[in-house]
Structure 1
């Protein structure tokens, strides 16, 4: 790929890796040994000036692209006013502007209230606190393959051991993990509801369970989508047993699936909606929005944080909201998803295309599998594709239970010709990927 002639390399990637090895914890893993220098919309340049098409998008953060001009304008204006005020001590308008938008746009039944945080994991932690306070119960039902964060309480919810829970011992609970129903797991809605019934009969009194936590579309789990009928059944289960339904939309929210939030495809209103990633346009911000009585369950002072709802990040979010509406990004997500589907079908017909397995997801939240010749998951072929694509100017992100799923998380604002360019890069690498034997 051509180098960007306008950027003088600060140093090479080898130097950067050496610096990182010397000072960064080994527990912080990098998918790609690429050190970013600058980026714009769906393009990125490394410290050596090499250009990439970015299909990672900060793992779903950059819904409106790198350095979206509306977001940057809002941020610059806020920086001229003030950059920080702890909302618990001295409140500010940018925080209220975000919570007003959330109250008007989140699928919550009745009056809604919100709390802002720094990250999705922090938002989920506070959602659990509110569920406990509201119900007086501590138990939580979560699902296999789910990812809800790396803090201790959110790790307890996360339905995957390695590498997240290895060596940590007991985690906060009680949490019960049940099968996630979707075509990829082979678990039906009836199977999943039967597993809940068995849990209640054998291990957990329903009166001890305060919340059910689910990703309507799993992120780290490989873009597996729950059927709408199952989400309706969960809503009914929670209503009948006095439980709080928590929808984790940290990765699936903000137009990614073709609706503002993925749970809207099912017509279901959760009690708490947990958000992050795309809300801040690249600035650290997350949120929980819920029914008024649930969100008011803790006494004043029970929620908050020094940097939670930072005014600069809130200003960025108001820019994101403007772009979502002005650029009609829910509609564009559907168009982008259709384009992904067409390209993935095209790849299967090319030399080496037999390595492309099933496509997953909704709207622009799409993914495809890399499979072995016998149809089984092939993490080896995925790793080969990641490297070859990167060498040729395309950044891809892995996921899935077997680490064989490529998730497509380009900004919703990506020009369609760059989508074509990206899939052309993948197409050229398929014969080499097919040569990999598991």
Structure 2
């Protein structure tokens, strides 16, 4: 990934602070969707740590060749790693033991960064045991782990790692980050999305076909085949892949699970499709927003509204260029709306929920997004064409008297301004 002017995301400074804080010795877990720059963040933090005099080893476990380790002295006491081989639990223990010995020899201790941790089978049990031993012995060894999937996929929903890890979640890149790193315009960002690795050089020089191939082969395919199918129990991988092909095409649309099921070739059921959609959401690909309702049960029972979590997943498969996409008003409207939904989802805090709303009695009354945190509720309507037609916001205010509303785009808050603040900031701003 090549960025302009040595751009660093805020995660770099935060990671350095976490690893320099010797009072909090928990493992730092850097997780998030594929191609969001987790490895770059770790390597930039490593350079800062080394510049301050702290010994820091970086080990990419998916390609364990000595020249890639960036860890002088790592192989002391470690058996030769076979060319093209994969590390297993034994290799991980030996690497950790080597780091322990090195940490004892230097005043500030050592930082060990383990990239692609999911490459080690049953890694969490091994790491827990090693870390517990370090804490009992008070070894000066700090650990950071990286994975190509969110925490729930890396560890399993039933895995208990409480008290051992400090999370550092990495989400898709925002408009401000892509503009600062690659000088993207607003329209380019809405079309190309927030995948930094897909942008090579100055926009205008990027190749549309190469960009599409990158989205398909570096993001979508490995996210499903490596992050979801290998890390979870997917009974029907072909059905999962079909759902991933279908869902981005309908981003911005409310679709019942039965309707989704009817467009899938493989046999399945509503429960399976709903489960697979949740797993696609966990992987940072596409989510199904639930209908906002005071009763959570009624909310879950309604048809989901599909929304890609990075607009590149929607536009790369469309066959359109940027200019062609903008010329098709209905399609471009859904892309803009999906960009707003992705931004809300990617910038929300853990306690904040993103919904849509539709009046059951008068289905024409809809609100694109509802941001909910406790008693705070914000209804958001997105307009990318002619002004007017915000009857849904009026109906929403009449139904939910304590809710606030916001119009984004034509006739309201400019899109670039909206994408410059997080979901939490908009809740506090109004």
Q: Which has the higher contact order (CA 8 A, sep 6+)?
A: 1
TM-score by length of 2: 0.29
TM-score by length of 1: 0.28
Higher Rg of the two aligned structures: 2
